[in-house]
Amino acid sequence: MNAHYCFAVSSLNPSPVIIAHDKIPQSIKAAANFSQIPSWVSLKSTPSSLQTQENINKAQIESIHLISLSKQGKLKEAREFLKQMEDAGISVSPRSYKCLFEACGKIKSLLDGRLFHEQMQRTVKNPPEFLENSVLKMYCECGSLADARKVFDEMRERNLVSWNTIISAYAENGVFDKGFCMFSNMLELETKPNGSTYIGFLRSLLNPSGLEIGKQIHSHAIRSGLGSNASVNTAISNMYVKCGWLEGAELVFEKMSEKNAVAWTGIMVGYTQAERQMDALALFAKMVNEGVELDEYVFSIVLKACAGLEELNFGRQIHGHIVKLGLESEVSVGTPLVDFYVKCSNLESATKAFEWISEPNDVSWSALITGYCQMGEFEEALKTFESLRTRSVDINSFTYTSIFQACSALADFNSGAQAHADAIKSSLVAYQHGESAMITMYSRCGRLDYATRVFESIDDPDAVAWTAIIAGYAYQGNAPEALKLFRRMQDCGVRPNAVTFIAVLTACSHSGLVIEGRQYLESMSSNYGVATTIDHYDCMVDIYSRAGFLQEALELIRSMPFSPDAMSWKCLLGGCWTYRNLEIGELAAENLFQLDPEDTAGYILMFNLYASFGKWKEAANVRKMMAERNLRKELSCSWITVKGKVHRFIVGDKHHPQTEEIYSKLEALNDSVIKEETGLLTEEDVSNSLPERKEQLLVHSERLALAFGLISTPSSAPVVVFKNLRACKDCHDFGKQVSLITGREIVVRDSFRFHHFKLGECSCNDYW
């Protein structure tokens, strides 16, 4: 406190103790807390003392305060204080100006830098060399190469720092021709370059286009006698990695007599980028054996290599090493650990690694949320996101993209729309990928109007965005609009990719467009340059099967250039059930059970097919196979959102607070609907016996959700129900009948597509 008091009163009580700032010992400078000096210090003193020793002392004090303001980044206050000093005729020390220029360069404040420079030119004659270099560096850091060059050309004397500063600035901004010109001028004036000269050049070469320039710099560094300089060689090796010449980087690295951690890490980065993860792991093991000091960046790279290989055991060993060094709580190490375990599908370990991080950042949270989404834990992803929003941690665009994907999977329109609004407010909608994820999210939530609005807002949609909107219409069964968008995509000059054709073929499949589907499949390679895959052929098998062309589907499976997979036979089996073809159905089931013996849907389809022909013995054998393999069908679940709250129902559910009203409404509807008894099992009641069929149909999950929607929503609003499995024929017919009886529009999204029921008709035309 006494020290601050002395500074405040020194202009009134001169003391020989006060000395020029340039001569203040470093220990005293470090101990002084300049931030507590008030802005009004000493400038209110009597003007009559300007020519005395008191004025000299005053200038020293004000320079100290000016330095304090610059170090705190208070440039506005510094400008005002500088003006007061100039008006009072008090000079500013060169060191004060140097601090001001450093502050301007740090925050890239070109306007302030120019103002301070102009004042320095007015008040300082023959500025010292270090001050001119400070001005030069400030302009370079602010990105004004024109100002920097003007200062450089007007400098009375230029030292090596001056040349290195301007050359590095040109190189960092990609103006290599001027950088080399300056380098040549430097040599002509017999100023010998040092390691920093070359390193400044090398660090600016970031892609293959700079490789030849990099080789020239490398050659010149050797001729200049810097061939054994560890820092220069490290920069050369890293430059070759960035420019894509890994062999050159390895040669430089191997010849280095002294290798630091940066050099080792640079080669590891090169191996990882070149998909040579095993070489990266081998190099890490060599680092450990040679006793190289390991830092956080080394661990982040080696964990990335382990993640690429999904090498869980090696990664766990590295994790143990991290724990031994006490780095597990560091965010720079903990975040790559989370990402590693996520990519190895070990969500439990990923969660534990996240919990160990003392201060997780936005990347840490994003890695965890992405992990939940990749593992299908979408509700946990949303819970984690809600927890993140309550903390003072920034949210990045990748996190929002993951949340859009989670809301898409859960068909959670409310959460998705809220996340969309938050992302827009924060300007964090990732260009293209984030927008495409939103299109898919709104499409899956049944809001094609919102999806279309997002798509049309994109200035220049890429193939991913086009594919998302085409798939949205295909998923809704609107093939004409989907194919119209596909043609529009081509007119815009955007090249479709393999996924685009999956969407196009799906649109054809859901609308019975057999000829069009075959034409698209056959033209993929010849007209669009897109290689076909088994997925495209499976789509064509599905098109044939849904349309009843079962023999054509079978022939395609046998003749296609790929070995059929489980989906090939499953699509065919689905068609055999629809069109009651037992012969081909048995063949399809046999192959399906061999390729995917745990697919319960295949057993259900085959059970129903046998039952439709009265082959109860064979049907019983199918059930027996399921029992022997301990297969149980996924529990059917339907849900509906009313007033922002999600209401879920399972088969025969009686846990809802309004159960009595729901069942009462359901019974009233059933009294009005004419039902036909087929005596066949659906996907929802394979484990039940046939005599109970009629009663079971009344309590299917989507019927409960539908009844609740009818009693809980305005009569003018559509009832939108979501289901995790494919809708059975009985419930599909029930939906049509209810839409006719009530006059309400009913929308059901099952695992295959959307069904829009209106006045007794469905948008799928009973084709699903």
Q: Tokens 């846990």 map to which residue?
A: 655
pLDDT of residue 551: 97
Q: Which of 73-82, 354-363, 656-665 has the lowest mean pLDDT?
A: 73-82
What is the reported pLDDT for 542?
95
* pLDDT at residue number 74: 82
Mean pLDDT of 154-161: 91
39 pLDDT band, cuts 50/70/90, is very low
Give the bridge partners for 637, in sequence order.
650
Cβ atoms within 10 A of the Cβ of 84, count?
16
Comparing CA positions, the residue from 140, 726, 753 lying closest to residue 474 is 753
What confidence tens digit (pLDDT) does each residue in 385-399 have?
999 988 888 899 999
Mean pLDDT of 65-86: 80
Q: What average pLDDT does the segment 323-344 reach?
A: 94
Q: What is the pLDDT of residue 555?
A: 97
For each of the domains in the chain, give its residue range(s) and CATH number, in order of start. 552-633 (1.25.40), 637-678+690-762 (no CATH)
In angstroms, the CA 62 to CA 338 distance is: 52
Q: What is the mean pLDDT of residues 44-58?
A: 47
Question: What amino acid occupies position 127?
Answer: P
Task: Output the CA torsion 194→195→197→203 (10° steps).
Answer: 180
> What is the rounded CA–CA span in Å between residue 564 and residue 545?
15
Span 500-543, pLDDT tens digits: 999 999 999 988 899 999 999 999 999 999 999 999 999 999 99
Where is mean pLDDT largest: 173-187, 364-378, 621-635?
A: 364-378
Which of 240-244, 471-475, 551-555, 692-696 is predicted least confidently? 692-696
Which amino acid type is present at position 358? S
What was the pLDDT predicted at 699?
A: 81
For residue 58, pLDDT over 90 is answered with no
Phi, psi angle pair for 608, to nearest 5°: -65, -35
> Could you tell me what percent of the chain has a pLDDT over 90?
61
Tell me, what's the pLDDT at 71? 81
Q: Give the model's confidence band at 57: pLDDT under 50 very low, under 70 low, under 90 confident, else very high.
A: low
pLDDT bracket for residue 665 (50, 70, 90): very high
Show Cβ contacts of residue 548 under 8 Å, excluding neighbours closer than 6 positions. 575, 578, 579
Provide mean pLDDT across the span 310-322. Answer: 92
User: Strand, helix or coil at 720?
Assistant: strand
Does residue 133 surpass a pLDDT of 60?
yes
Q: Provide the pLDDT confidence category of residue 433 given band limits of 50, 70 and 90.
A: confident
Reported as a pLDDT band with limits 50, 70 and 90, residue 261 is confident
Reported confidence tier of residue 705, pLDDT bands at 50, 70, 90: very high
**pLDDT at 43 (0 to 100):** 46
Average pLDDT, the chain: 86
SS3 for 568-636, per residue? HHHHHHHHHHHHCCHHHHHHHHHHHHHHCCCCHHHHHHHHHHHHHCCCHHHHHHHHHHHHHCCCCCCCC
Amino acid at 414: N
Q: Please count the other Cβ atoms lying within 10 Å of the Cβ belonging to residue 543.
A: 30
Given pLDDT bands bounded at 50, 70 and 90, which one contains residue 77?
confident
The pLDDT tens digits of the residues spanning 177-236 come to 898 889 888 888 888 899 999 998 898 888 898 899 899 999 999 998 998 899 999 999
Q: What percent of the chain has pLDDT over 70?
A: 88
Q: What is the pLDDT of residue 406?
A: 94
* pLDDT tens, position by position, 85-121: 877 778 888 888 999 999 999 989 999 999 999 989 9
Q: Are 572 and 582 in contact (CB under 8 A)?
A: no
Task: State both tokens at 51.
Answer: 């020519």
Q: What is the pairing mode between strands 719-723 and 746-749?
A: parallel
pLDDT for 677 equals 40
